[in-house]
Amino acid sequence: MLIPRYFFSGDYTEFYDYFLSKPYRRRTFQKGDMIWNIGETIRYVYYIESGIAKTFVEHEDGYHKILHFHSDGTVYPGCQNSAFKIESSIGTQALSKVETLEFTRENFYQMYQENMALNARILETYSMYINLFIYESAHQDYNNAFIKICNLLYLFSVHSPTGTPNRIDLTQQDIADILTISLVNVTNNLARLRKEKVIVSHRKRIEITDYPKLVSYCSNETLGS
């Protein structure tokens, strides 16, 4: 049974040769560059060849929430005809050097219509997004901060961008921005996990040292079956 994902990678690698056969241009974004700017609607769709990008929503009052991360072998932001107002509040930023194939929205929508395997994969990806957002609104929002953090560390360990499940490449601020809790709350709860020898903190990453104990703190809907 699938569990929620915050980190997406490798979902479209089988379509790489197909993408190369279609009109595109190569775009490289340096660390810190905006791939999709706040205030813009979707104009381009990107296949990420390498690098990591984060997508976040920003409210007019300064509220900032990380939605998810994308890396090698993924397509973002996806494919749809309609332009939604919320798009102007969403941004995607390169966390490292990101190399992409850039397609116009119109060309990618045509590819989506003509290639049924790609069509099915995009629908599956959208289902993963919906699963994540339902999980957050129906379950994660009702957990206390400590359980939320344990759930998040577990989910990132399952879908590790480094291929090393015990290594979580998140800063304390990243955790606060994903879970929309205060940085002080994150710091205090990570200190508890360190004291119990569940984790060891490093600069910009966390190492899980007692995986079974971390799992024991997670909520049932997070663990799946």
Query: DSSP for 155-194?
Result: HHHHT-TTS-TTEE---HHHHHHHHT--HHHHHHHHHHHH
Mean predicted confidence (pLDDT) in 135-149: 81
Residue 114 — pLDDT band, cuts 50, 70, 90?
Answer: very high
Least confident range of 15-24, 141-150, 175-184? 141-150
Question: Distances in Å between the alpha carbon of 199 and those of 149, 158, 176, 192?
Answer: 12, 16, 17, 9
Residue 135's pLDDT is what? Answer: 81
The encoded tokens of residue 64 equal: 């900032």
37: nearest Cα among 91, 93, 104, 94:
91
Mean predicted confidence (pLDDT) in 173-195: 92
Question: Distances in Å between the alpha carbon of 56 and those of 36, 39, 46?
Answer: 10, 13, 16
Q: pTM for the complete prediction?
A: 0.82
Rg (CA), the chain: 18
Asked if 38 and 90 touch (Cβ cutoff 8 Å), the reply is: yes
Asked if 94 and 51 touch (Cβ cutoff 8 Å), the reply is: yes
Cα separation, 206 vs 166, whole angstroms: 8
- Summarize pLDDT for 194-207 with one digit per residue, the tens: 999 999 988 888 99
DSSP letter at 124 equals H
pLDDT of 6 over the 90 cut: no
pLDDT of 121 over the 90 cut: yes
pLDDT of 225 over the 60 cut: no
pLDDT of 77 over the 60 cut: yes
180: nearest Cα among 61, 74, 75, 93:
61
